[in-house]
Amino acid sequence: MMPMNGVMPFNSAQGVQSFGLPLPSQFQSPLSQPGPHVASRLMNNATGYFQSVPHLKESAVNILIPMSPALIGVRDLIPEMLLTGTQQKKQMVSNYQAKGISIMPSFTGHYLNLTVTGPTGKEPELVQAAFEILTGKTTFPPNAAPTATPFLEPGRLNMMKQDTAISARNMQSEPRVPLVDAMNKVLYGPNHPYALDALQASSVTQRQPLEQFVNTYVQALQYPERSKIVVTSPLAVEQQQALLNQAVQTFTWFASPYRQSQQFALPPVQQAPGIQNPVLVPNTSSQKAYITQIWRAPGVTDPDYPAFCVMRQILENLSGRFFKELRTNRGLVYGSQQAYSSDPQAGAYYSMNAEVENPNIIPALKGIQQVIQGLMQAPAPPIDMDMAKRKYDLWLGRALESPDAIYALNESMFTHEAQPLHPDDLKRRIAAVTPADVQRVANRIFNPAYGSELTGLTAPPEVLTQFTQTPYYRAFRDFNQRMMS
């Protein structure tokens, strides 16, 4: 801490009468900690994970159902189908919404993830909402004979297909979209499902009949033993379990004894270490340049993952080294964004994006290199390590405020078939990371001898032409020629 130059010590006894109320007794103890995860097999063979978190004012139910990402173009419509596939579904969703219960289907890696959140005290309705949406069966209003609703009406499907086509077309006006599409083709190989761009995925969607969407979904429901249900709530674990077991009986989820679905495994991703040739995408609609760099990174179950998390805290946000170097010190960008994704089959990636003025392309690329070289060449100083760990604590403190954020702490563990971790465990793992760990993981990711780096750039055509004539660009090519030889 820097000295407070010339500041007289403040004497609170003089002139200040404090009316400060004492801290209420319930606030003097630490925030009530989440209980441990309790895993158990439900009556339909799905795995339930239950966590009691007494201080919450909301509860969340997450249902994870495996659905292969190889089905791109088919599975993309399923979240929307669950919410608005029929008029009755729309009514159902609105009815729950009016009770403060929000229903959000999405994809998390290889899983369809149905997230239902709502106020505490309404947990039975939360569970009921989740199962009604999922199974298409309803007991609403209570005690009514269960009736089945179709999942998708033809008129709705046509509308959804039209939306998909128009959205895919509209997305092309965003300069970064063609860049990311082109980089995906290099990263995964041209025939990998992840290399399909939005227009190609939409084209697949347009060709599918109604039955294809419904069957894909229904078949996914037939493997309850591969599904997971996660409950995060102030309720006691026993109450959570009882609610879930009651629901799986009432809604006869996964009733079919016939296993019709095939497993769609993703093709393996071939990726040699080293620096790959940059992907250059001409852009005629914007006068600016967009840079993206992607590196292979440790997955969430990798032993290096905690050190990677600390490394990210050192690199990212306003206090991170990227921001300091690119903006504070050099004024090259307004901001930069970093992202991480981990897929159990296709691997994990760390990426960095920035929008720059054309003359700043090479200075920005050099700035990024300077930052990562700094991490690779020297252990992070203790003060940086301390800051990173404090930032992690703050991030964790924020997460503990809501059930969906508490669930999100472990979402990747669930989708990687790993056991969830308690916040205390997460904290301990982070606390144990050493400067040498961070340096090691930085080398693993950024050193071309071990890691894999791909740079993408979209800019006006004449700017790209100039870029290919620079020594910086030639260095990429020279590097690759050396690697090839």
Partner 1 sequence: MVDLGLAWQPQQNMVFQPGLMPLPLPADFGLANTVRPTQTYSNVLPAWSQPQMPPPTTFTSPSGYPVQIYTLRNGHRVVIEQRPTDVVSLRTFINTGSVIENPIKKSPYYQASYFPSGISHLDEHCHFLTTVNYPQKNAWSYVVEKLGADYNATTDREVIQHEIACNPKDLPQIIGMHGESVMRPFYRQSDITQEKTNVLNEMSQRTTPPDAKVWNKMQELLFDRPGFQTLGTQEDVKGTTAEQLYRFHQTYYTPTNMVTVLSGKVDPAQVLPLLEKEFGYNPPRVQPGGVPSIQMTLRPGEIRHATVSDPQLNHSIVNIGFPAPAKGSIKERVAMEFFAHLLGTGPLGLFEANVREGRPDLQITSIGCGYQPLKATGEFDVMLETQPGKEREALIAVLQTIQMGAQPQVIQARMGQIKELMIQDFLKAISRTESASGIMGEEILHNSLPFFQNYVNLVQSLSVQDILQTAQKYANPSTYAVVFGVPAQQAPQMPMMPGGPVQ
Instruction: Encode 374-404: b = buried (16+ Cβ within 10 Å), e = exposed.
Output: ebbeebbeeebbebbbebbeebbeebbebbb
Q: Which of 154, 331, 359, 461 binds partner 1 (CB under 8 A)?
A: 331
Residue 104 in contact with partner 1, rule: CB under 8 A: no
Cβ 282 to partner 1 shortest distance, Å: 14
Residue 22 in contact with partner 1, rule: CB under 8 A: yes
Of residues 187-246, those binding partner 1 (CB under 8 A): none
122 or 226, CB closer to partner 1?
Answer: 122
Residue 285 in contact with partner 1, rule: CB under 8 A: yes
Q: What is the 3-state secondary structure (H, E, C) of 378-419?
A: CCCCHHHHHHHHHHHHHHHHHHCCCHHHHHHHHHHHHHCCCC
Of residues 378-407, those binding partner 1 (CB under 8 A): 383, 386-394, 396-398, 400-402
What would the DSSP string read from start to end of 266-329? PPPPP--SEEPPPEEEE-SS-SSEEEEEEEEE--TTSTTHHHHHHHHHHHSSTTSHHHIIIIII
7 or 144, CB closer to partner 1?
Answer: 7
111 or 392, CB closer to partner 1?
Answer: 392
Structure tokens at 86: 């029929």
Cα gap 149→132, rounded to integer Å = 9
Q: Which of 44, 58, 177, 221 binds partner 1 (CB under 8 A)?
A: 58
CA dihedral 47, 52, 56, 60 (to 10 degrees): 10
Residue 17 in contact with partner 1, rule: CB under 8 A: yes
Cβ 449 to partner 1 shortest distance, Å: 32
405 or 483, CB closer to partner 1?
Answer: 405
168 or 454, CB closer to partner 1?
Answer: 168
Cβ 171 to partner 1 shortest distance, Å: 9
242 or 431, CB closer to partner 1?
Answer: 431
Cβ 98 to partner 1 shortest distance, Å: 3
Cα gap 197→76, rounded to integer Å = 13
46 or 375, CB closer to partner 1?
Answer: 375
Return the closest-CA partner of residue 392 out of 307, 271, 334, 284.
307
Of residues 407-446, those binding partner 1 (CB under 8 A): none
Residue 125 in contact with partner 1, rule: CB under 8 A: no
Residue 24 in contact with partner 1, rule: CB under 8 A: yes
148 or 383, CB closer to partner 1?
Answer: 383
Cβ 323 to partner 1 shortest distance, Å: 10
Residue 100 in contact with partner 1, rule: CB under 8 A: yes
Determine how many CB atoms are found less than 10 A away from the CB of residue 132. Answer: 26
Total residues at the site for partner 1 (CB under 8 A)?
87
Cα gap 145→260, rounded to integer Å = 28
45 or 162, CB closer to partner 1?
Answer: 162
Cβ 240 to partner 1 shortest distance, Å: 20
Q: Which of 40, 45, 90, 425 binds partner 1 (CB under 8 A)?
A: 90
- 258 phi, psi to nearest 5 deg: -95, 125
303 or 331, CB closer to partner 1?
Answer: 331
Residue 149 in contact with partner 1, rule: CB under 8 A: no
Cβ 60 to partner 1 shortest distance, Å: 12
Cα gap 232→403, rounded to integer Å = 6
Residue found under tokens 């009406």: 153
Of residues 301-320, those binding partner 1 (CB under 8 A): 317-319
Cβ 20 to partner 1 shortest distance, Å: 3
| CB 288, CB 357: distance < 8 Å | yes
CA distances to 96, 164, 167, 168 from 171, in Å: 32, 10, 6, 5
Cα gap 330→309, rounded to integer Å = 26
Q: Which of 47, 84, 222, 447 binds partner 1 (CB under 8 A)?
A: 84
Task: Pick the piece of the chain touching partner 1 (CB under 8 A) from 140-148, 188-196, 278-286, 475-483.
Answer: 278-286
Cα gap 116→128, rounded to integer Å = 10
Residue found under tokens 């000295």: 3
- 145 phi, psi to nearest 5 deg: -65, 135
